[in-house]
Amino acid sequence: MTVFPSPDSLATTPTLAVLGFKRQLVYHLHFWAFIAVAPLILVQWRQDHLLLSSFLILFCVNALLVIAFLRYRNTYFLRGRLFPLLAAISAVYSTAINGHVGLYWSYPAAAAVFFLLPLREAIASNIIFVATMSAVSFFKFPEPDFWRITFSLGLTCLFAMIFAWLVGRLQGELTRLATTDPLTGCLNRSQLADILNSQIQMRERYERVSSLILLDLDFFKAINDQWGHLAGDKVLKEMTNRIRKRLRESDQLFRIGGEEFMIVLPETRQKDADTLADQLLTSISSRPFLNNIKLTASASVAEVSQGETWSVWLNRADHALYEAKSRGRNQVVNAMKPRTISNQGPIADPAAG
C-alpha cells in the first residue's frame, strides 16, 4: 500500500518529496476527471444510455473515493487501478453507441493512465485499450477514419508514455543526487533516520537484529595538510571502494561526516559486526592509499536494542567511537548496552534538537 506524506507539511527527505509530487498528480487527475465526467452522467441518462450512465457513476464514485482516501488517510485507494479500467470501458462503450462523441474521451483517458499506473502496467493496459478502440472504430467508422483513430490514439499514448518515462527518470535521478554523496557515492544523511527506523521496526516486529558500524579515519587532517585536499578526496574514494568490497548487497554505507562513515548491517549481531569492523580496519591499515599514504581508522559497533530510538542507537555508537579515539585509535570499540550507558549520565537525544 502506498502511503503518501501529509500535504500540510514540507517534505523532509527526497523520497517524501517524490511521494508528495505523486500525491498531487493523483489528486488533481481524479479531481478534474470527476468535474469533467460528472455532468455526462445526466447527459447519458437523458439519452436513455443507462448502462453508460452507470459506468460513469462508478467512475465518479471511484474518483471521489481516491480523493477522500488521499485526503483523510494519505493512501492510494486500490492503487488507482479502477480509473483506467472504468475510463477504458466507458470510452469504448460510448464510442460503440455514440460514435465520435464517445471517441473524443479516449484521448485524455489514455494519457492519464501513464500518470496513474506504474509504467509497465500503463503500457500494457493502453495496448489493450488502443487495440479495443481500433476494433470498435473498424466496425463503427469508415476505413480512413479507422486508420486515423488508430494512429492518432497510438501517437497520443506514445507521447504520454515518453513524457511519463522521462519524468520518472528525472525523479529517480534527482532522488539519487539528493540522497548520495557526490564524492564517494555513499548515501548521505538524508535517509539516515528512515533506514535506522526501518531496522528498529524489524527488531520490534520480527526480532531481526541489526547492527551499525561507525568508522572514522584517524588524523585525516594531517593527510590533507601534507598531501593536499585533492589527494585527501582520492583517499576517501579509495577507502569507500575498500569498504564496499567487504559489504553484502543488503548493507548500506553512509558518509555522515567529512571522514566519518556509517554502515548499517541488517540481520547482523554485534559479534559478527565486530568481526567485520576489525576486517575493515585491517583493509585500511594494511595497504597504503594512493601507493604511499599510510592510514588507520577507528570504529565502533552497536547492535540495536529493544525499545531504543534511532538517535539513541546512533548516540551509543558515537560514544563508543569517541572511546576508540581516546584509547589511541586504530581499534574497534563495542558500544555499551543502553542501561549501562544511562548509568553514566544522560545522553542527549540529537533528534530532540
Ligand X SMILES: Nc1nc2c(ncn2[C@@H]2O[C@H](COP(=O)(O)OP(=O)(O)OP(=O)(O)O)[C@@H](O)[C@H]2O)c(=O)[nH]1
For binding to ligand X (CB under 6 A), which residues are involved? Answer: 183, 216-221, 224, 229, 232-233, 236, 258-259, 325, 329
Closest separation between CB of residue 107 and ligand X, Å? 52
The answer to whether 122 and 88 have CB atoms below 8 angstroms apart is no
Side chain identity at residue 255, one-letter code: R
Distance of CA 26 to the CA centre of its chain: 17
Q: How far apart are CA 331 and CA 300, in angstroms?
A: 8
* CB-nearest residue to ligand X: 258
For ligand X, the closer CB: 107 or 322: 322
Closest separation between CB of residue 13 and ligand X, Å? 22
For ligand X, the closer CB: 100 or 229: 229
Nearby residues of 340 by Cβ (< 8 Å), 6 or more positions away: none
CA distances from 270 to 31, 51, 67, 311 (A): 52, 65, 46, 18
Closest separation between CB of residue 237 and ligand X, Å? 10
Closest separation between CB of residue 255 and ligand X, Å? 8
For ligand X, the closer CB: 156 or 240: 240
For ligand X, the closer CB: 98 or 190: 190
The answer to whether 10 and 170 have CB atoms below 8 angstroms apart is no
Provide the grid cell at 143: 476505413
Closest separation between CB of residue 58 and ligand X, Å? 57
Closest separation between CB of residue 280 and ligand X, Å? 16
Instruction: Give Rg (Cα) of the chain.
Output: 29
The answer to whether 306 and 279 have CB atoms below 8 angstroms apart is no
For ligand X, the closer CB: 58 or 231: 231
Closest separation between CB of residue 252 and ligand X, Å? 20
Helices (H), the chain: 14-46, 50-73, 82-98, 100-103, 106-116, 119-140, 143-179, 192-206, 220-227, 229-246, 270-285, 310-326, 338-343
Nearby residues of 208 by Cβ (< 8 Å), 6 or more positions away: 202, 266, 267
For ligand X, the closer CB: 146 or 289: 289
For ligand X, the closer CB: 133 or 236: 236
CA distances from 123 to 80, 88, 99, 130, 153 (A): 15, 13, 25, 10, 13
Closest separation between CB of residue 291 and ligand X, Å? 17
Closest CA to 140 of 102, 92, 96, 107: 96
For ligand X, the closer CB: 87 or 321: 321
Q: Is 179 left (phi over 0), alpha (psi -120 to 50) or beta?
A: alpha
For ligand X, the closer CB: 176 or 221: 221
Closest separation between CB of residue 327 and ligand X, Å? 12
